[in-house]
């Protein structure tokens, strides 16, 4: 039994070390950009020998892939299906908040998306599958609202709208950074992002659904 | 007179060398990303000595700033003011094409916008002033269409719409790259980009203006 306990203790210590490496890597990647961080810097920040770090992760790409899988698991959720349009709007609103919070938490992935994905096909293909599914979610949601009489748009308009939803959701935080506003990002900024995305859908909404959205958005009007 | 001619000849040769350096730099930056290109690579591609290149440009940042000023001069145009809504839609369409063509031509600037602007305040502030003016152009254009009865949106809706127009126009080509479609960009892809941006405005348009836009867009429906 003592031996079993010892193994468990080792496994726990290993897991704890892995978590510390991933947490510190994420912090450094987000702060400096992934390209400007080396495994040496990560080890130094953790007061860990490079050898100990390499024992857990062969190289920086492996750390990035690990963090990407966590990001993917967090972001790759469907919004819950609901019966009425009002709840659908409310759910979409919360869902967008969750998406933008996750993008914010893993913002290093978005900072140099082109370079990162061009360099690493193990990220590029899964990232595109996530975007494919997000597009399908947006289309299904709009079609559901259209069937409920809460949204008025053609199939073509919904398809084009879904692309714009993806572009704005993907790049909103980058755009805020560009405009010099990201370092001070707060819950309100994420809310503003969700509002910007909802505003893409808003002009197609009818009646109660639109009024419901206008009510949610009012708090973000400066 | 002979002396004057000699000076002119030198000035022309200098100008021609500067143009060759800028042209080759733009090509290499666009192909490999600015971060992966050195002044040594630019000189080698031109079969020019590094010393000759340094005589014209102190360092790579100076080349980037030069190219940025060309980009800014090209992109920083207002669409012509017009009387009727139909012409306004047509002009906006051509204007968006021109913007996206310019972004495409200087796409290295957009590839790692965050890094490039964070590193160089001499680019960051002018770039943001361009975005400020673009936002003002979009707002003025929408207000004009609203006054002509061709667009129905509140001041708040126009403000939020203008932000989304900037985000989609700024990142459309990056998004295409992400989706693996940029290497094969063509006039149709730029048209699709202009269409995506116009689709943001479209649901707010009324009557003739909307029909006019739908007609322009139809050619981009797959």
In 3D space, the residue among A221, A215, A218, A219 whose CA is nearest the CA of residue A90 turns out to be: A215
Q: Which value does ipTM take for this structure?
A: 0.87
Main-chain dihedrals φ then ψ at residue B49, nearest 5 degrees:
-75, 145
Distance CA(B34)–CA(B53), nearest Å, equals 17
C-alpha distance from residue B9 to each of A110, A203, A211, B3, B17 (Å): 49, 61, 70, 10, 12
Both tokens of residue A122? 């193990």
Chain A residues interacting with chain B (CB cutoff of 8 angstroms): 33, 35, 111-115, 117, 124, 127-128, 131, 153, 156-157, 160-161, 163-164, 166-168, 170-172, 174-175, 177-180, 195-196, 199-200, 202-204, 221
Average predicted confidence (pLDDT) for chain A? 87
Residue B4 has pLDDT above 60, yes or no: no
Chain B residues interacting with chain A (CB cutoff of 8 angstroms): 33, 35, 111-115, 117, 124, 127-128, 131, 153, 156-157, 160-161, 163-164, 166-168, 170-172, 174-175, 177-180, 195-196, 199-200, 202-204, 221
Which of the pair, A153 or B88, is modelled with greater confidence? A153
Residue A222 has pLDDT above 50, yes or no: no
Distance CA(A120)–CA(A15), nearest Å, equals 26
Question: How does residue A73 score in pLDDT terms, banded at 50, 70 and 90?
Answer: very high
Ranking A8-12, A137-141, B121-125, B132-136 by mean pLDDT, the lowest is A8-12
Domains and CATH numbers, chain B: 2-58 (1.10.10.60), 67-218 (1.10.357.10)
pLDDT for the residue A122: 86
Task: Enumerate the β-bridge partners of residue B28.
Answer: none
Tokens 């900072």 belong to residue = A111
Which of the pair, A179 or B45, is modelled with greater confidence? B45
What integer is the mean pLDDT of A174-202?
A: 82
Which of the pair, B23 or A33, is modelled with greater confidence? B23
Torsion region of B221: left, alpha or beta (phi above 0 gives left; psi -120 to 50 gives alpha): beta
What integer is the mean pLDDT of A142-164?
A: 92
pLDDT for the residue B221: 52
């Amino acid at each position: 039994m003592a031996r079993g306990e010892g193994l468990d203790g080792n496994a726990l210590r290993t897991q704890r070390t892995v978590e510390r490496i991933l947490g510190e890597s994420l912090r450094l990647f987000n702060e400096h950009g992934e390209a400007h961080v080396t495994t040496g810097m990560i080890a130094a920040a953790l007061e860990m020998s490079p050898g100990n770090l390499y024992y857990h992760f062969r190289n920086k790409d492996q750390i990035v892939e690990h963090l990407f899988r966590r990001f993917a698991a967090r972001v790759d959720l469907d919004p819950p299906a609901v019966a009425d349009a009002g709840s659908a709007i409310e759910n979409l609103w919360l869902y967008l908040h969750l998406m933008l919070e996750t993008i914010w938490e893993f913002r290093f992935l978005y900072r140099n998306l082109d370079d990162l994905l061009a360099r690493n096909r193990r990220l590029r293909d899964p990232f595109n599958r996530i975007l494919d599914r997000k597009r399908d979610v947006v289309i299904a949601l709009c079609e559901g609202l259209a069937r409920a009489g809460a949204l008025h748009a053609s199939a073509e308009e919904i398809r084009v709208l879904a692309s714009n939803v993806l572009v704005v959701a993907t790049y909103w935080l980058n755009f805020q950074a560009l405009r010099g506003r990201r370092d001070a990002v707060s819950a309100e900024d994420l809310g503003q992002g969700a509002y910007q995305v909802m505003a893409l859908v808003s002009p197609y909404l009818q009646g109660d659904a639109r009024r419901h959205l206008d009510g949610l958005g009012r708090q973000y009007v400066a």
